[in-house]
Structure 1
């Protein structure tokens, strides 16, 4: 299971997803308030979607015997990670000044890792189907 490349991609997606819980996405201030670090823990909906997407990536690793389900769960995790990025940008509208933090790369790279994993799972499924034709 870990020897497959999609397992590595999904593990990296989960690690980056959980990293967004503690790493700053945006550093800014509202008016006269001091500088704040905006993370996924600052918004309840963002927190829930982040945890579900990262957990879904981990769970998908262990479903290696059921590749069609793996692909469906991969697309679900991809949709959740894109929703996460959207929620991050909606959440930074409350700040009047500031900038996107360097650690925000973790949020942007999660969908990339999930897409790479889905692609590898799809290749495995095609390989299995092609060997079934030969029997």
Structure 2
């Protein structure tokens, strides 16, 4: 159901993890070559899982409880991904010859996490509304 606000949040999280990271580099190497997530197998797998979970959550709009659980798993996955990005940036600081400039793409999982939290909040609100209506019957 596209008219629900959580669907919009989930779609934006899908755009961030599935589309934007193809165009925004994670960081720039010292030889002025951009480092994209596709150059690392771990990042590709984790971002692919995150994108798949966002799509699965959008498509399971009739089962709000499953949608909520998938959203939580997606949040955890994005936190792991963000941790890997931060770990990599701390190990390869800007002073080393390997990485010369950190990119904004490294912090895109933060925006995805915020959108997923907002989506889960809206899903919970819908679930509470349905439960309150069931009590009245």
- TM exceeds 0.5? yes
Match of 2:77 among 67, 75, 80: 80
> What is the deviation of 1:105?
4.4
> What is the deviation of 1:22?
3.6
Spell out the pairing of 1:94-109 with structure 2 (5 A cutoff): 94=92, 96=96, 97-109=99-111
Q: Displaced runs of 4+ in structure 1, greater than 4 A?
A: none
Match of 1:120 among 99, 119, 122: 122
In structure 1, runs of 5+ residues without a counterpart are none
Distance, in Å, in 2 between the alignment partners of 1:11 and 1:108 is 15
1:89 matched to 2:86: yes
Spell out the pairing of 1:1-135 with structure 2 (5 A cutoff): 1-18=1-18, 19-29=20-30, 34-92=31-89, 93-94=91-92, 96=96, 97-135=99-137
What SS class does the counterpart of residue 99 from structure 1 fall into? Answer: strand
Aligned residues: 131
1:85-125 CA distance string (max 9 Å, x none): 11122333346152322344433201011001000000000
Q: CA RMSD in A?
A: 1.6
